[in-house]
Structure 1
Amino acid sequence: MPYAKLVTIYGGSGFIGRYIARRMAQLGWRVRVAVRRPNDAIWVRPYGVVGQVEPVFCNIRDDESVRDVMRGADAVVNCVGLLAEVGKNTFEAVQTGGAERVARIATELGVPNLVQISAIGADDSARSAYARTKAAGERAVREAYPNAVILRPSIVFGPEDEFFNRFAGMAKMGPILPVVGAGTRFQPVYVDDVAAAAVKGIRGEAEPGTYELGGPDVNTFRELMVYMLSVIRRRKLIVNIPFWIASMMGGAFGLLQRMSFDLISAPLTADQVANLRRDNVVSGDAKTFADLGIEPMSLEAVVPDYLWRFRPSGQYSDIKESAQYLRDNRN
């Protein structure tokens, strides 16, 4: 029986990580899913045959913990990232320190391939700490592991996303849908396309370097919300919250979170507001999906398949519309 290669995926039960894990299992690799709470990630096991996909404990802030789960790996992927800081899991500790640690130890152990999941907008001079620490993490990875493949996706969509699902849920309540940065441009990318790009890096089929990953369309935040509302068959007034007001709201929410010792999560942070001030699209001179031989999926091909549950009649919405159409024709 041929030797089955092993990939360690840090954050492998997260949104992007789970899709990478599934693809690698389908290719016959053994998959080690490194997470903080393995018992909460046992649902990844059915991605492969018995024993092929295993969640294991790892604290990305600790050298020995990272090293233990990397031993014997033929490839490593770091998907760990934060949308907001909680306790010891700060942007600096996770997105910079964690990325440096994974890359440094991968070099020490002689791991053949490393993929780092970053984000479009990573920039040392950004207002957002999220973006600055992503950039610092990329720099640390390149210094410790020069042949790394770094992937920078725009906003990622898919059945488990925290973007369309979040705003579709908000649209079920009240006549207004508030947004921050309605004019900010995004280039939404399907999560499984990002996973396909990561697989190229894992298997050594991608040239080392940084790739910016965006879907086929560029839309403003407002345009994305209009499209989302059309998919879920709801009419709402989209109201743009000015950045200065949103910044104060984010600061207040952040204070509330700190005062509750992180028991209450801030629905909006000042750092997220700062990040929304900048467009989130592929730059003109970047390596892209085209350089990987991947044609990305459009929003229209995916989003309706998972947002139907937010329609007024849920799964019966299309049936009711068809029935109404028949009644109208008879009349």
Structure 2
Amino acid sequence: MMKVLVTGGTGVVGPEVVRRLLRRGHGVRLLSRHASDDRKPFEGDVEAFDGDIGDAASIRGAADECDAVIHLAATVAERPPQVTFERVNVEGTRNIVAEAERARVQRFVYVSSLGADRGESDYHRSKKAGEEIARTFSRAWIILRPGNVFGPGDEQISLLLKMVRTLPVVPLVGKGDDPFQPIWCEDCGEALAIAAERADLAGRELDLAGPELTSMNQVLDRFEAMTDRHPTRIPLPAWIESTGAKLAAKFGIETPVNADQITMVTEGNVIPEGRENALDVLGVKATPLDESLAKLGDSLPERLPSEGLGPMHRKIYRAVIRGARLDAEGLIALVRDEFPELTPRKTVVVGAEPESPTRIAPGATLTMALPLRGHVQVRVEEVSPRAITLATLEGHPLAGAVRFLAEPAPGGDGSVRFEVQTWNRASTLADLLVMETLGGAIQTYTWTSLVETLVERSGGRAEKGVEVIRDDPDEREGKAFERWLEELIHRRVRRDGAPAPAMAAG
């Protein structure tokens, strides 16, 4: 058993590295700017060390008593002045190597990037400089160059999936036929964990990529079959690819690649002929691309209220039901088992994609079709006798949660109070504008209709009808709900061994 320092154990790859190390019996110390929070999704021996790799003083002591370092921390997009390729990818690596030397760590695994040894993008140049620094480590070092790693919340393949689900058009880099070799995050995490154990690989430089060559068009073909949606594909001229990506980033618009990544695509993102794939060297059985893309379809991360825009809104749709055949637990069971039949199909179609689940079950991801938005998803975070909580996922117009609650009504006459609570902010500026106009009316119609249908199905009556109460929380109450929801999600992740949620992304 080793103690392994993992730098930047967040995002798409980091959580899988930590999870694989724990499963292989190792202890983990996590180094990141917010490590005390980033460690929350993990069970087991995970220590937190809060520090900034760009600040050498802040990470002193991070490698004490560690046998190995897996240096993941890097940036793929600059946000000056603090987040630059030079400060994070180059000087950050220099600082980590120095800390590993000081602590007399025996093994140093540097995570580079496929093509860094030959690429001309600014990002690749910075990773190549990092490789040169890693080679100065005086004991055992190994360099791994992962290709395009995809998993819940990645900024390319996950983004393409969200675009297919929600947009009428999808932009393509060039004609969408450039080959690349994506690797599923779980396979990448397993490979890096094994590399930290392999003393025999000292001094090796290995390319790490998925088992199949594909292209953006082929990935889109798979997503269209998965979602039964067929947006128009628009090839972007070269000047839009470069200049347009920069402008989009400036205004906060999501694009499948940034300007620097476009250079990387045109340079090629595949293992050159004649080189070994680290998956084979390390004995990792690769996940087939179709299987991993299917996993991705139901594993996008939660879109939390803290990530949304504008003030938090809370609405309550409530009915006191008299003479019902069902008690509070029976009403929640009805919602759990027959959710699609309770929602109005004019505004919500549950199970909108082929093979998409429709029953509310702990940890399930439900896909729904919404007017003006396409397909969106929610995840079941809580199912208890008197409560159900659904959290919105990336791609949903709202960042927040929906709760179904039932309890005996005051008065002791056998009446039951049932309510739907929505806690949310708009996900984007465009969603904010829609929710302030048509979106709010659609939401009110949807949940009012569900409560009315539930009253009818219960065999009871609601003498006052459905009360709609807008009761926006103050800042303290809103923050308390955000913390409660995040902890609820962390408990699900720890229980299910599921992908780390969005707030764990650094």
TM-score bracket, normalised by the shorter chain, equals 0.7 to 0.9
Q: 1: CA distance between counterparts of 2:233 and 2:254?
A: 22
Letter in 2 for 1:111: V
Match among 168, 174, 185 for residue 161 of structure 2: 168
Change over 3 Å in CA distance of 1:125–1:219 after alignment to 2: closer
RMSD (Å) for aligned C-alpha atoms = 2.5
Deviation of residue 64 (structure 1)? 2.5
- Give the aligned partner of residue 148 of structure 2: 155
Q: Give deviations 1:140-187, integer Å, cap 9, x for gaps.
A: 111235631111111112334333321111123332111214122111
If each structure's helix is expressed as a fraction of its own residues, which one has the higher value? 1
Aligned residues of 2:146 and 2:208 also touching (Cα < 8 A): yes
Match among 225, 230, 238 for residue 230 of structure 1: 225
- Which secondary structure state, in structure 1, belongs to the residue aligned with residue 228 of structure 2? coil
Aligned residues of 1:232 and 1:308 also touching (Cα < 8 A): no
Q: Give deviations 1:177-212, integer Å, cap 9, x for gaps.
A: 112141221111121221222122211355121111
- Which secondary structure state, in structure 1, belongs to the residue aligned with residue 267 of structure 2? coil
- Give the aligned partner of residue 23 of structure 1: 20
Aligned residues of 1:152 and 1:212 also touching (Cα < 8 A): yes
Match among 37, 40, 45 for residue 40 of structure 1: 37
Letter in 1 for 2:267: R
If each structure's strand is expressed as a fraction of its own residues, which one has the higher value? 2
Deviation of residue 19 (structure 1)? 0.9
- Give the aligned partner of residue 333 of structure 2: none
Change over 3 Å in CA distance of 1:246–1:71 after alignment to 2: same
- Which secondary structure state, in structure 2, belongs to the residue aligned with residue 92 of structure 1? helix
Letter in 2 for 1:214: A
Q: Give deviations 1:46-79, integer Å, cap 9, x for gaps.
A: 2x1xxx1123201001223233211111111111
Deviation of residue 227 (structure 1)? 1.7
Question: Within the alignment, does 1:318 sit opposite 2:355 as a pair?
Answer: yes
- Give the aligned partner of residue 53 of structure 1: 46
Change over 3 Å in CA distance of 1:300–1:206 after alignment to 2: farther
Aligned residues of 1:23 and 1:199 also touching (Cα < 8 A): yes
- Give the aligned partner of residue 278 of structure 1: 267
* Larger mean Cα displacement after TM superposition, 297-306 or 17-26: 297-306
Q: 2: CA distance between counterparts of 1:317 and 1:12?
A: 34
Q: 1: CA distance between counterparts of 2:95 and 2:274?
A: 29
Question: Within the alignment, does 1:287 sit opposite 2:276 as a pair?
Answer: yes
- Which secondary structure state, in structure 2, belongs to the residue aligned with residue 143 of structure 1? coil
- Give the aligned partner of residue 252 of structure 1: 247
Match among 56, 65, 73 for residue 66 of structure 2: 73
- Which secondary structure state, in structure 2, belongs to the residue aligned with residue 33 of structure 1? strand
Q: 1: CA distance between counterparts of 2:101 and 2:48?
A: 23
Match among 6, 9, 17 for residue 6 of structure 2: 9
Change over 3 Å in CA distance of 1:317–1:251 after alignment to 2: closer
Q: 2: CA distance between counterparts of 1:60 and 1:270?
A: 25
Q: Give the percent of matched residue pairs that are identical in Structure 1 and Structure 2.
A: 27
Q: 1: CA distance between counterparts of 2:147 and 2:183?
A: 6
Letter in 2 for 1:73: C
Aligned residues of 2:106 and 2:140 also touching (Cα < 8 A): no
Q: Bigger radius of gyration, 1 or 2?
A: 2
Q: 1: CA distance between counterparts of 2:352 and 2:280?
A: 36
Aligned residues of 1:210 and 1:287 also touching (Cα < 8 A): no
Change over 3 Å in CA distance of 1:173–1:196 after alignment to 2: closer
Match among 221, 236, 239 for residue 241 of structure 1: 236
- Which secondary structure state, in structure 1, belongs to the residue aligned with residue 31 of structure 2? strand
Q: 2: CA distance between counterparts of 1:314 and 1:201?
A: 41
Aligned residues of 2:49 and 2:62 also touching (Cα < 8 A): yes
What's the TM-score once normalised by structure 2's chain length?
A: 0.56
- Give the aligned partner of residue 321 of structure 2: none
Q: 2: CA distance between counterparts of 1:101 and 1:287?
A: 30
Q: Give deviations 1:229-287, integer Å, cap 9, x for gaps.
A: 22222112222212222111123345x36xxxxxx577453222222222100112333
Deviation of residue 216 (structure 1)? 1.5
Letter in 1 for 2:288: S
In the TM superposition, 1:78-227 aligns within 5 A as 78-87=71-80, 88-123=82-117, 126=120, 128-145=121-138, 147-181=140-174, 182-208=176-202, 209-227=204-222
Change over 3 Å in CA distance of 1:137–1:146 after alignment to 2: farther
Q: 1: CA distance between counterparts of 2:21 and 2:262?
A: 36
Aligned residues of 1:13 and 1:44 also touching (Cα < 8 A): no
Q: Give deviations 1:211-233, integer Å, cap 9, x for gaps.
A: 11111210122212222222222
Q: 2: CA distance between counterparts of 1:320 and 1:266?
A: 28
Q: 1: CA distance between counterparts of 2:357 and 2:198?
A: 50
